[in-house]
Amino acid sequence: MSNKIRWGVLGGGGDSLIGVLHRVAAGMFDAYQLTAAAFNPDKNISIAFAEEIGIPTDRIYTDLDEMISEEAKLPESERIQVVSIITPNFLHFPMAKQLMEAGYNVICEKPMTMTYDEALELEAIQEEKKCLFALTHTYTGYPMIRQMKKMIAEGVIGEVQKVDAQYYQGWINPIIHDKEKRSSTWRLDPEKSGKSCCMADIGVHAYQMIEYVTGIEVDSVLADLNHLYDDNQMDIDGTVLLRFEKPVKGVLCASQIATGEENNFTLAVYGKKAGLKWEQENPNYLYLLEEGQPLRVLKPGHSYNSDLSLDGTKLPPGHPEGIFDAMGNIYKGMAKAIRGQSFDPAEFPTIHDGVRGMHFIETALASHHDGNVWKSL
């Protein structure tokens, strides 16, 4: 019998980019076997897609209810062990709740839920059921982000004093200026996307990354968001000032109307002794800035990197790694946890990151709504 982890998937069929990303990531270390799925509400479409990608169709289900019901009829040694939720935002919470209540481990796309209260409810269920939960903040899987985290923790840059995160995209620009398009896309529909568009989609990535690499939690925020049109309920751009628990301040800028930008996510952390900068579109370079010293560039795969960084590096120095590799590292860490192996807590984001993220989103929205005032986290 295969020792691979029996893996189920909800959503992510057809031409879904995120579905491809998850399937490639799960197969990267030969740790998972795609065993059961409900790719689409139409079972016939799901079966056709299963045939297209070459997996058995005997455990293709109509929906989550059928998946849980039918899997329960199988011997425990054959049931799926973990399920990935790769669906629109409004389905994340009910699916994760139902899965954990049934005893399944979960890998979930972000944002984890539609509201902060839902996030707290999931956290309580996980504590009760003792399920494993990974949230796919994919960028934490990049080797040089993991190196950045370890260098800050080891005091290489000294005490942190300034953080600057920017996440700029332009994809919504041709949609937002067309009244019919902005009224029909699910990303701008609060019923399907939640209370926020920009902050919930990409701003929360920047927020989670800030807390991940610095190890410091944000204490309060002041947000100024932009909806651009009065009939658009969702933020599509915004700037958030940050205050941390320590005497540290920062700024988070996120936009989906940065015309011409693709996926321009940059992060800089400045300490008393040095600074570190990273760019998602050039993820294999970590820049170290020191007073009176030439700029140093650190790259993955070299022995000077931390064990956490090297564990997430699959190729020799000089061979580029990217977003698929980053997601693969999250799946790799989750596989270690499912198998009861030793792993670094930094190997995959958890439900705590989801709770923090939802709290950030709602607090930023409240700060903007109440006149751009400071709100405590």
CATH of the domain at 159: 3.30.360.10
d(CA 108, CA 100): 12
Residue 298 lies in a domain: yes
Residues 277 and 162 in one domain: yes
Residue 176 lies in a domain: yes
**3-class DSSP state of 152:** helix
CA angle 35, 41, 43 (to 5 degrees): 60
Q: Supply the Cα-derived Rg of the chain in whole angstroms.
A: 21
Residues 171 and 88 in one domain: no
Cα–Cα distances in angstroms (integers) from residue 191 to residues 19, 88, 186, 187, 194, in the given order: 22, 11, 8, 10, 6
Q: What is residue 347's DSSP assignment?
A: G
Q: Is the pLDDT of residue 371 over 80?
A: yes
Residues 111 and 162 in one domain: no
Residues 276 and 192 in one domain: yes
- What percent of the chain shows pLDDT beyond 90? 91
Instruction: Give 283-312 pLDDT, tens digit per residue.
Output: 999 999 999 999 999 999 999 999 999 999
Is residue 357 exposed (0-12), middle (13-18) or buried (19+ Cβ within 10 Å)? buried
40-54, 65-79, 140-154, 318-332: which has the minimum mean pLDDT?
A: 318-332
What does the pLDDT read at residue 314?
85
Residues 214 and 355 in one domain: yes
Based on the structure, what is the number of domains in the chain? 2
Residues 217 and 175 in one domain: yes
Residues 160 and 106 in one domain: no
DSSP H helices, 138-267, are: 143-153, 173-176, 179-184, 190-193, 198, 204-214
User: Which of 138, 163, 186 lies at the terminal end of a domain, its last residue?
Assistant: 138
Residue 326 lies in a domain: no
Residue 327 lies in a domain: no
Q: Is the pLDDT of residue 315 over 90?
A: no
Higher confidence at residue 187 or residue 99?
A: 99
Residues 131 and 77 in one domain: yes
What does the pLDDT read at residue 309?
95
Residues 205 and 118 in one domain: no
Residues 22 and 150 in one domain: no
Mean residue pLDDT of the chain comes to: 95
Query: 108 with 134: CB under 8 angstroms?
Result: yes
Residue 371 lies in a domain: yes
Q: Is the pLDDT of residue 71 over 70?
A: yes
* β strands within the chain, DSSP E: 5-11, 32-38, 82-86, 105-108, 133-135, 160-168, 218-226, 237-244, 249-255, 264-271, 274-279, 282-290, 296-298, 375-376
Measured between its terminal Cα atoms, the distance across the chain in Å is: 49
Confidence of residue 245 (pLDDT cuts 50, 70, 90): confident
What does the pLDDT read at residue 1?
44
Query: What's the mean pLDDT in 73-77?
Result: 96
Range of the domain at 13: 5-138
13-22, 120-129, 224-233: which has the minimum mean pLDDT?
A: 13-22
Query: 64 with 99: CB under 8 angstroms?
Result: yes
User: Which of 86, 115, 138 lies at the terminal end of a domain, its last residue?
Assistant: 138
Residue 341 lies in a domain: no
Cα–Cα distances in angstroms (integers) from residue 168 to residues 251, 256, 333, in the given order: 14, 6, 29
Residues 177 and 309 in one domain: yes
Query: What's the mean pLDDT in 51-79?
Result: 96
d(CA 121, CA 178): 38
Instruction: Give 248-295 pLDDT, tens digit per residue.
Output: 999 999 999 999 999 999 999 999 999 999 999 999 999 999 999 999
CATH code, domain with 49: 3.40.50.720
Residue 338 lies in a domain: no
- The structure tokens 């960084």 sit at 309
**3-class DSSP state of 52:** helix
Residue 64 lies in a domain: yes
User: Which of 138, 161, 189 lies at the terminal end of a domain, its last residue?
Assistant: 138
Q: Is the pLDDT of residue 117 over 70?
A: yes
Q: Would the pTM count as exceeding 0.75?
A: yes
Residues 63 and 158 in one domain: no
